[in-house]
């Protein structure tokens, strides 16, 4: 663990079935006069957006064209619209994509240059636009993290923005917002939250605070994601998953993630694979490699998963990896790259891209070489 640990989160967390009732008072305290809502077509077409609109007491404008894997250009467009319509507060309503676009829009709306100029770590010094995040999926935890991920279409890569200026002022997390989430998105985003929890628990940057959050998230996800997937209207399962996603976000937002994310990024950048699916697909294969050097941690994970554990840590590693394969299979997560028509001959390219995601690989408990990463992709094929 590091010798110094700083815990970061959104300024205020509002959770529970009545969480949306807090929106009006939050806007009043911000002295907001006109809201700019950033969302996507799925949220609009499902009618989920109406749960937010009925709570608004000020005029608003909506940008609803956020893509599943949003590009840098979408932030540029949102900044342009924000100023054109004279808005003074941003509200993100959606999954991680909408929240990441909104976080960058709020932080960069008054900054010189282009969005691309601020890629990287701590390049954004401040944010002056109030930001409220309302997730509609239980997965990314973006409502409480200082990270945003956008696609660079020219380079066919994912780019990360990491700054405390990206932390929302308020995160409003209500289980009602995920009731219309499609089953496939419920599954992929839920396993994405599991990735966050597992990776943060074995991260080299972890702390005792993130450990507790991660283990609780693992327990909740393993128990309630299958229920939320099988019975979308189950409000208890939705509420438990909303909590699990939130605390997994707090865990990885402070403890960091590692090789699963690093190997998933090139899949999203080149093939437009959703972040949740790419993470979920790679999870069991990377965990098999990551056990070396932190086998005792896998025993803790096995306990959180409520598996039957033994005194042999290596045996528990095998149980965890097997469980992850079965867990993803039962949620109809693609079982390999081949099923998604990824060319086998692209593996060297993917490995070259992944090994350059040093921001994440430095947290990984096992140092992976280029040949190691190629082998993981081959095993995941």
Domains and CATH numbers, the chain: 12-177 (3.40.50.1970), 183-379 (1.20.1090.10)
Taking 50 as the pLDDT cut, the residues of the chain under it are none
**Residue-wise pLDDT tens digits, 218-240:** 999 999 999 999 999 999 999 99
- Tell me, what's the pLDDT at 24? 96
**Residue-wise pLDDT tens digits, 136-168:** 999 999 999 999 999 998 888 889 999 999 999
- Tell me, what's the pLDDT at 158? 85
The SS3 assignment for 266 reads helix
Starting from the edge strand earliest in sequence, which strands make up the sheet with 157-162, in order? 120-121, 157-162, 147-152
């Amino acid at each position: 663990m590091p010798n110094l640990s700083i815990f970061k989160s959104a300024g205020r967390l509002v959770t529970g079935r009545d969480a949306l009732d807090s929106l009006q008072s939050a806007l009043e305290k911000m002295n907001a006069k006109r809201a700019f809502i950033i969302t996507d077509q799925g949220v609009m077409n499902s009618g989920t957006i109406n749960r937010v609109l009925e709570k608004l007491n000020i005029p608003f404008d909506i940008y609803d064209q956020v893509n599943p894997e949003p590009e840098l250009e979408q932030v540029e467009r949102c900044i342009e619209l924000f100023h054109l319509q004279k808005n003074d507060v941003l509200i993100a309503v959606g999954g991680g994509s909408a929240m990441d676009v909104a976080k960058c829009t709020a932080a960069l709306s008054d900054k010189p240059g282009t969005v691309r100029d601020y890629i990287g770590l701590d390049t954004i010094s401040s944010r002056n636009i109030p930001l409220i995040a309302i997730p509609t999926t239980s997965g990314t935890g973006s409502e409480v993290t200082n990270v945003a991920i956008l696609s660079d279409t020219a380079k066919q890569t994912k780019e990360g923005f990491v700054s405390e200026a990206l932390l929302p002022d308020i995160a409003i997390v209500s289980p009602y917002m995920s009731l219309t989430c499609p089953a496939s998105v419920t599954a992929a985003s839920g396993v994405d939250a599991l990735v966050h929890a597992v990776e943060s628990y074995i991260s080299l940057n972890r702390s005792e605070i993130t450990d507790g959050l991660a283990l609780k998230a693992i327990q909740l996800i393993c128990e309630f994601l299958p229920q939320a997937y099988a019975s979308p209207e189950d409000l208890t399962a939705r509420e438990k998953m909303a909590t699990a996603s939130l605390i997994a976000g707090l865990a990885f937002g402070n403890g960091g993630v590692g090789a699963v994310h690093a190997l998933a990024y090139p899949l999203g950048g080149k093939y437009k694979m959703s972040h949740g699916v790419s993470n979920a697909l790679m999870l069991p294969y990377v965990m098999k490699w990551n056990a070396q050097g932190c086998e005792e941690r896998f025993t803790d994970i096995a306990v959180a998963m409520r598996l039957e554990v033994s005194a042999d840590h290596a045996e528990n590693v095998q149980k965890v990896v097997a469980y992850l394969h079965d867990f993803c299979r039962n949620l109809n997560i693609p079982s390999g790259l081949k099923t998604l028509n990824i060319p086998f001959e692209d593996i060297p390219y993917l490995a070259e891209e992944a090994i350059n995601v040093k921001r994440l690989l430095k947290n990984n408990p096992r140092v992976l070489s280029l040949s190691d990463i190629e082998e993981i992709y081959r095993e995941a094929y």
